Structures are given as C-alpha cells and as structure tokens.
Amino acid sequence: MKSIKYYAFPSSVKEAMSLLLDRKYKAMALAGGTLVAKTLPDSVETYLDLKNVPIKGIKLAGGNLVIGAGATFDEIDRSKLCRSWAGGVISSAAAKCSSQLVRNMATIGGNIARPHSFNIFPVLLLGLDAKVRFACKTGTKLVDFQDLYSSGAGLRPGLDCLITEVIIPAKTRKWGCEFIKLAKTESSWESYIKLFFAVEKKGKFFAQARIAVGALSPRPFRAPAAEKALAAGETPEACAAALAAELAAARAGDYRCAAAANLLKRFVKSV
C-alpha cells in the first residue's frame, strides 16, 4: 500500500461513484478489505472506504431476498431472513468463512467482486441463480451471477463500478439445499473443494436441481450432467457417478471426485 496518498469515506453510492470515476484520484473502492487491501495495485492512489455507504441491509423485495453488498459474513450468519431461506444454507455458508474476526469484517460484495478459488459465496450464488446489482457510470445494471466473471460483462468492481446488492430469487426460498466446504478445518481459508447442492421437491420427485462446484478454479462451475440425473430421479449412485465423471474431466483428482460423489449420495438420501 506504499502508493496510497489519500483516504476517502463517501457517505452515499452517488458520492462513491463520483470519486471512483474521477480519474485524477486513481481510486479503488474497498469494503472489509480483508484480502484486497493486501494486494492493491501500485497504480491506486486513493483508498475509497465504503464502510459509511448505506449498502448493508438485508430485506425482502418483491418476494426476493436482497442482501446489501456491504453486509458482513457475521450479519448474514445472524440474519433471521437468511436463516429461514432455503433451509438456512446462506447463513450456514457465511459461518464457514475463516475466523470470527474475518467474518466481522468481510462482506458479501467483496467476496464476489473478483474471482478467487477459495471464496465462499460464488459457488452458493451460482447455485441459487442469484443476480448482482451494480452502480456504474450509466446508472444501475443487473447481471446474472453466472455472467459476472465473463469478459463480456465488462465490469471491474471497485475500479469503475460498485456492487450494491445481491438478489436471490423468490423461487429458491423453499429449496432443499446444502453447502459443503471440505477443508482441513472449518476455519481454514483454503479448501479441497466446495459444493452446493439444491433441489426443488414436488411430491416424490425433483422439479429442479442445482449442483455447483468451487475451489477447483477461481470461477465456480455447474455440473449439468449430475443435475440432469438428479432431476430425472436417477438413483443416488447414478447421480454420484455423473458428478464424479464431470469432476474427473475437470481434473479434480481422485480424492475430490470420490469425496464429492459420496457427499452427493448423502444429500440425495437426506432429501
């Protein structure tokens, strides 16, 4: 952080965007700053602290769950809304982020702003069909989470735009879900694999299924063959075999393939 000359503490999204887009400041916006503050580019001269910007609320809007980008992992963990959504999977995922000290500081916006293999929320939000709202030069922009890291999105959060909200669609509220971080310890930053499983049950059948995989690469990915097997009502063993094959194709290694397959079998039997 030797290149930092100025600190700015905007009190609104409008003020933050004004500072961010004024090139003379060479600003970069940060919220918790638990990771990015250690790796700021040398070109950044202004540290734009977002802690006073009102983007921390967690609410219902139009039936959707809306989480402000500035909401910390601890606030998400303790939120009654998050604990009641999709079996509490959002809160349980937030609780698996490193230490309590980090959870008090790290925000959901910062966790998804840039792809990183060991971030918690990307795999979860991919599986929940989430959307991300941005403040940008032209106003606001709503992006499907699955497109967030694509080059075509043309977004550089913290440099020329700000994440303001994460929107989880109403349809997921009653889904049966599980988030798993397979690591040496629950507080470990690194993990062998992250898995998100979800189904929408209709009677004895699954109307929809989602399987998302993280920690193997900076960008999480879906497992469409295993999802198809799950939605078709195939046996737990067949679903697990489909997932193992997809992970093998992604060069996950024998241990991760076997562990993920067994964890999927456990999930299918539990729902």
Instruction: Please check the confidence at residue 37 and state whether its pLDDT lies above 70.
Output: no
Per-residue pLDDT reduced to its tens digit, 208-218: 999 999 999 99
124 in Cβ contact with 89 (< 8 Å): yes
DSSP state string for 172-205: GTT-EEEEEEESSSTT-SS-SEEEEEEEEEETTE
Per-residue pLDDT reduced to its tens digit, 102-128: 899 999 999 999 889 999 999 999 999
State the pLDDT at residue 172.
Answer: 98
Which pLDDT band holds residue 202 (cuts at 50, 70, 90)? confident
190 in Cβ contact with 97 (< 8 Å): no
DSSP state string for 35-91: SGGGG--TT--EEEE-TTSS---EEEETTEEEEETT-BHHHHHH-HHHHHSGGGHHH
The bridge status of strand 193-202 relative to strand 205-214 is: antiparallel
Rounded average pLDDT over 28-41: 76
- What is the spatial distance between Cα 100 and Cα 43, in angstroms, rounded to a whole number? 32
Which residues are bridge partners to 221 per DSSP? 213
Which pLDDT band holds residue 2 (cuts at 50, 70, 90)? low
**Average pLDDT for the chain:** 93
Q: For residue 33, which of 12, 48, 17 has the smallest C-alpha distance?
A: 48
Instruction: Please check the confidence at residue 191 and state whether its pLDDT lies above 90.
Output: yes
- What is the spatial distance between Cα 269 and Cα 1, in angstroms, rounded to a whole number? 50
- What is the spatial distance between Cα 46 and Cα 42, in angstroms, rounded to a whole number? 11
Q: Which domains does the chain have, with CATH numbers?
A: 6-48 (no CATH), 58-171 (3.30.465.10), 174-270 (3.30.390.50)
Instruction: Please check the confidence at residue 25 and state whether its pLDDT lies above 70.
Output: yes
Rounded average pLDDT over 215-227: 97
Question: Any alpha helices (H) in the chain, and if so which ranges?
Answer: 13-21, 73-78, 80-84, 89-94, 100-105, 108-113, 121-127, 224-231, 236-249, 254-270
Rounded average pLDDT over 218-238: 96
- What is the spatial distance between Cα 158 and Cα 144, in angstroms, rounded to a whole number? 18
As a whole number of angstroms, the longest Cα–Cα distance in the chain is: 61
Which pLDDT band holds residue 150 (cuts at 50, 70, 90)? confident
Instruction: Please check the confidence at residue 79 and state whether its pLDDT lies above 80.
Output: yes
State the pLDDT at residue 205.
Answer: 82
Per-residue pLDDT reduced to its tens digit, 42-73: 888 999 999 999 999 999 999 999 999 999 99
Rounded average pLDDT over 175-194: 93
Instruction: Please check the confidence at residue 160 and state whether its pLDDT lies above 80.
Output: yes
State the pLDDT at residue 46.
Answer: 92
Instruction: State whether residue 140 is helix, strand or coil.
Output: strand
Rounded average pLDDT over 142-152: 90
Instruction: Please check the confidence at residue 152 and state whether its pLDDT lies above 90.
Output: no
Structure tokens, 220: 């999480």
Burial (CB count <10 Å: 0-12, 13-18, 19+), residue 4: middle
